[in-house]
Amino acid sequence: MQVWKFGGTSVGKPDRMHSIRNLITENGTRKIVVLSALSGTTNGLLSIAESLKANNDVEGNQKIDDLYAHYEVFIKDLYKTKDGYEQGKAIIDKEFSFIRSLVSIKPFTLKQEKEIVAEGELLSTQMFEAYLKEEGINSALLPALDFMLIDADNEPVLSFTEEKLSTMLEQLSDKQIFITQGFICRNPRGEIDNLKRGGSDYTASLIGGAIVAEEVQIWTDIDGMHNNDPRIVKKTFPIRELTFEEAAELAYFGAKILHPSTITPAKLKGVPVRLKNTMEPEAYGTLIADKTSDREIKAIAAKDNLTAIYIHSTRMLNAYGFLRRVFEVFEKYKTPVDMITTSEVSVSVTIDNDEHLDEIMAELRQFADLEECDKDQTIVCIVGNFSADKEGIALKVLDAMKNIPIRMICYGASEHNISLLIHGKNKAAALNALNERCFLYEDAMKDIFSAQ
Ligand code: ASP
Ligand code: MG
């Protein structure tokens, strides 16, 4: 069994739904298909919730009417038969009558907001499944609200999903294609809840882990994770293979294609995750698995708008406990530290949230000397396989950076990451220089071409 997930834009138009129907039935594999809401719907529903929260019922009703009108047009093109259309109409009427029923609930709380925002996935999956039925496909709906659960800390309960899904699938053993909702779940109070924005990828990985799927495929409209930021660098290419650790580093450093916690459940069960492009289904995409090919430097990503703080103290010489005191200050102000470098008498750190910068600086000054901090800093993160026995990697990276001032360097914290801190104004130059040196050299070219 495979798990395939399609995002909002992949289901956002009737003809996109038609192509997904073809994709999922092309090869004979049984699949659980996870769908997001149609593009724009989640935002639309949240905006309705905003109006209702503010007791602006007239505005709320107007927004509901507008969204309904969108669905009315959508189903006209989605279905091909009168019967199919009537099924679709019944689905949207039922869900919108629920949405309308929330208008009169006062006060409109977070509970209602979560109910309303869940409607996006409830609509898309039922509409799509009715379309598969119209097409004579042997499909069934698996209601996510019956098998996705989060605990009091908002963490998904994988054992619950394992148990429920296995029973449900046993009962539907004659079915070939299963459709389910991404994003939505229940909480310990039994209420409707969700896995946070963009959570459908997470749903797919949780299901993949729960049933120990052959593979999880995340279908979007990009051809996989790129080796560098295509908005800044011209010659980028999709990375064929990444390890789970490398993919996590990239997701953290802003490769928007994957929700950062997405792959954890798949990784836990060793289920490979493949990123695929609905616009180019034959393309290989990016495969994320336990082991990958030998390529050393796999990708480059960057994180902007950081502040660097330089802390200096001669008392640090041969002393212990100094770092603890430094980090206690950040802890007190609930400010995560991204990057750290140390020497015998100084420490430099970067933070991404500078809301409490003044207080943090004042407290640090009580026991250390501080230089003026630097704003608008960027971490450039080089991701790949840098195990301790490899030579020459730092040389390549630093050679690429030879004309760009570097403020901090981190190497060796993990086997998958080298981080450099530079001024934000040099980011484009750094990404391009690294791309030239680390990928577009002769050896890399060979690798790229043999991979196509
Ligand atoms: N529909 C939800 C959102 O827009 C979940 C998702 O698309 O992954 O955030
Ligand atoms: Mg998404």
**CATH code for the domain of 395:** 3.30.2130.10
Q: What is the pLDDT of residue 230?
A: 85
Q: How many residues does the chain have?
A: 452
Ligand 1 site, residue 209, Cβ cutoff 6 A: no
To test the ligand 1 pocket, which listed residue (183, 192, 219, 220) has its Cβ within 8 A of the most ligand atoms?
Answer: 183
Is the same domain home to 317 and 201?
Answer: no
Is the same domain home to 215 and 307?
Answer: no
210 in Cβ contact with 162 (< 8 Å): yes
Residue 350 lies in a domain: yes
Q: Rounded to an integer, what distance in angstroms lies between the CA atom of residue 350 and that of residue 67? A: 43
Atom of ligand 1 nearest to the CA of 196: 9
Pick the ligand that lies closest to the CA of residue 203.
Answer: 1
Residue 430 lies in a domain: yes
Q: What is the pLDDT of residue 329?
A: 96
Ligand 1 site, residue 199, Cβ cutoff 6 A: yes
Residue 209 lies in a domain: yes
Q: What is the pLDDT of residue 442?
A: 44
- The count of domains in the chain is 2
Is the same domain home to 201 and 310?
Answer: no
Residues of the chain scoring pLDDT < 70: 254-257, 259-260, 294, 316-317, 441-452
Residue 245 lies in a domain: no
Which of 160, 186, 221 is at the close of a domain?
Answer: 221
Residue 256 lies in a domain: no
444 in Cβ contact with 438 (< 8 Å): yes
Residue range(s) defining the domain that contains residue 419:
298-451
Give the pTM: 0.82
For residue 324, say whether it is annotated as part of any ligand binding site: no
Which of 155, 187, 221 is at the close of a domain?
Answer: 221
> What's the 137 CA to ligand 1 centre distance in angstroms?
26
Is the same domain home to 207 and 346?
Answer: no
Token pair listed for 430:
């750094």
Q: What is the pLDDT of residue 167?
A: 98
Residue 14 lies in a domain: yes
Atom of ligand 1 nearest to the CA of 199: 8
Is the same domain home to 20 and 133?
Answer: yes
To test the ligand 1 pocket, which listed residue (117, 195, 200, 206) has its Cβ within 8 A of the most ligand atoms?
Answer: 200
Over residues 252-294, the pLDDT tens digits come to 776 666 766 778 899 999 999 999 999 899 988 999 998 777 6
For residue 321, say whether it is annotated as part of any ligand binding site: no
Q: What is the CATH number of the domain that holds 49?
A: 3.40.1160.10
Alpha-carbon distances of 372 from 115, 161, 323, 348, rounded to whole Å: 48, 51, 20, 12
Atom of ligand 1 nearest to the CA of 36: 7
Residue 17 lies in a domain: yes
Which of 170, 197, 221 is at the close of a domain?
Answer: 221
Q: Rounded to an integer, what distance in angstroms lies between the CA atom of residue 8 and that of residue 70? A: 15
For residue 365, say whether it is annotated as part of any ligand binding site: no
Q: Rounded to an integer, what distance in angstroms lies between the CA atom of residue 17 and that of residue 84? A: 14
For residue 264, say whether it is annotated as part of any ligand binding site: no
The stretches of 135-280 forming alpha helices (DSSP H) are 158-171, 200-210, 244-252, 264-268
For residue 231, say whether it is annotated as part of any ligand binding site: yes
Residue 263 lies in a domain: no
Q: What is the pLDDT of residue 247?
A: 87
